[in-house]
Amino acid sequence: MKKSLTVIICALFLFVSNSSFVYAAQDTEAPTIEEIKVLTPVVKAGSTAKIELTVSDNLSGIRYVNVHFKSPDGKNHLYPFDLSIDEPGELKGTYILESHVMAEFGILGEWTLDYISVQDFAFNTYSYFTNKGYEFLQNKSFIVEGFTSWETQQNVELNKEFTISFNSNIDISTILEKNIYIKDDARGENIPLMFIIDRSSDMQTSKVTIAPVGSYKPGSSYTLYIKDIISKDGQILNENVKMQFITK
């Protein structure tokens, strides 16, 4: 009786294995992305981002998904979202993917979806690029937030200068547009700025005045960001800050 049972089990195993192999051999279509959701639109530096992805395949099953986001400066890429499935057979699934800890990458701001790569167990692979016009991929982003918010200013003059005081002698090399910048909230772009640095006579404090090259647009929203300022003795600013202001 045991011998007969063993033969039956082995035969069943071979049937399943052969069936999977046939499906893989017949499968010539890559998986399809049906939907993507950003579950964490704002992520604190030092935590993780999460997305939800619905994927389907026609025959051999979903094997691998890789989601790529582009960094705020447009120069670097972040590849934090990966899904690998060990066994074939799942033709449709909704998955929650989690990134690495965002503090590792050190770039605050809005990370935008660049493309998604998918693969099935027949090794059919396809990449969905946002610039190819896929509507369901548009406007998918999350913000890595590491700023303390100052109170919003209203009715700001169109040529307003802002003066920022530091209680230390700052390193001028960190007063750059990647450290202090103003973003046009509607367009999502940084505006050109002029910088004036003033140190106290005892070199113990510093002031930085920033002004727009040209002027702000009337009735518009902007945000001033200050981050990663370093003093002459190597100390980093205690916190990164931002302040929204709205012009007259």
Work out how many domains the chain is built from and give that number: 2
Q: What is the mean pLDDT of residues 225-229?
A: 83
Residues 125, 173, single domain; the answer is no
Question: How confident is the prediction for the chain on average, in pLDDT?
Answer: 81
pLDDT in tens, 14-60: 344 444 444 556 889 999 999 999 999 888 776 788 999 999 999 88
What's the pLDDT score for residue 4?
42
Q: Assign 194 a pLDDT band (cuts: 50, 70, 90).
A: very high
User: Which of the listed ranges 5-19, 104-118, 164-178, 209-223 does the model predict with the highest average pLDDT?
Assistant: 209-223
User: Which residues does 194 contact at the CB level (< 8 Å), separation at least 6?
Assistant: 210, 211, 212, 213
What is the domain extent for residue 241?
Answer: 147-247
Residues 155, 94, single domain; the answer is no
Per the CB < 8 A criterion, the answer to whether 149 and 240 are in contact is no
Residues 133, 229, single domain; the answer is no
- Chain-centroid distance, C-alpha 29: 29
pLDDT in tens, 71-115: 887 776 666 788 888 777 689 999 999 887 765 445 777 889 999
Taking the CA of residue 156 as centre, how many other CA atoms within 13 Å lie in the half-sphere pointing to its CB?
Answer: 24
Residues 82, 140, single domain; the answer is yes
Residues 49, 140, single domain; the answer is yes
Distance CA 130, CA 125 (A): 17
- What share of the chain has pLDDT > 90, as a percent? 37
Residues 99, 165, single domain; the answer is no
What CATH number does residue 131 fall under?
A: 2.60.40.3880
Distance CA 19, CA 61 (A): 13
Per the CB < 8 A criterion, the answer to whether 238 and 231 are in contact is no
Q: Is residue 208 one of the residues assigned to a domain?
A: yes
Q: Is residue 230 one of the residues assigned to a domain?
A: yes
Domain stops at, among 92, 118, 145: 145
- Helix, strand and coil content of the chain, in percent to the nearest 5, comes to 15, 45, 40
What's the pLDDT score for residue 14?
36
What CATH number does residue 191 fall under?
A: 2.60.40.1220
Residues 138, 154, single domain; the answer is no
Per the CB < 8 A criterion, the answer to whether 116 and 127 are in contact is yes
What's the pLDDT score for residue 24?
56
Residues 97, 169, single domain; the answer is no
Q: Is the pTM of this model over 0.95?
A: no
Taking the CA of residue 187 as centre, how many other CA atoms within 13 Å lie in the half-sphere pointing to its CB?
Answer: 10
**Measured CA distances, 70 to 52, 113, 114 (Å):** 18, 6, 6
Residues 122, 176, single domain; the answer is no
Among candidates 111, 82, 99, 112, which has minimal Cα distance to 46? 99
Residues 167, 242, single domain; the answer is yes
